[in-house]
């Protein structure tokens, strides 16, 4: 009997092995691979694992955010504008994908 994976909950978009993550807190539920923004709306990085906030408690929880590394661009759920912001304001670079998003397009 083996282990059966029923749902990807993180790391599925990370392409490189040299990555830098930091821990932030969130009061909202977030999905792995989504863009994480600070309180004023600036893009900080990508959420590494799903974080679910209980509707009753609504207590802030820690969230791991990838700020530097290589990710598969075609596995991200981010919009083109969010991808451009990731390239411009973080140390994240994209691997693969079609079309490849570049800053300034």
Q: What is the residue extent of each domain of the chain?
A: 20-95
Number of alpha helices (DSSP H) and beta strands (DSSP E) in the chain? 1, 5
20-95 has which CATH code?
2.40.300.10
User: Contact at 8 Å (CB) between 66 and 14?
Assistant: yes
Q: What pLDDT score does 25 carry?
A: 92
Read off the pLDDT band of 43 (50, 70, 90).
very high
CA distance 19 to 56: 34
Cα torsion 83, 84, 86, 92: sign? positive
Q: How many CA atoms lie within 13 A of 37 on its CB side?
A: 9
What digits encode the pLDDT tens for the residues 16-42?
888 999 999 998 889 998 999 988 989
Q: What pLDDT score does 16 carry?
A: 82
């Amino acid at each position: 009997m083996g282990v059966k994976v029923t749902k990807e909950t993180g790391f599925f978009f990370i392409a490189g092995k040299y990555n830098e993550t930091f821990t932030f807190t969130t009061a909202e539920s977030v999905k792995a691979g989504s863009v994480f923004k600070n309180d004023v709306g600036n893009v900080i990085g990508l959420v590494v694992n799903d974080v679910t906030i209980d509707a009753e408690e609504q207590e802030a929880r820690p969230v791991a955010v990838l700020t530097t590394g290589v990710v598969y661009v075609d596995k991200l759920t981010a919009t083109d504008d969010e991808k451009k912001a990731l390239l411009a304001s973080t140390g994240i670079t994209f691997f693969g994908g079609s079309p490849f998003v570049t800053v300034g397009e």
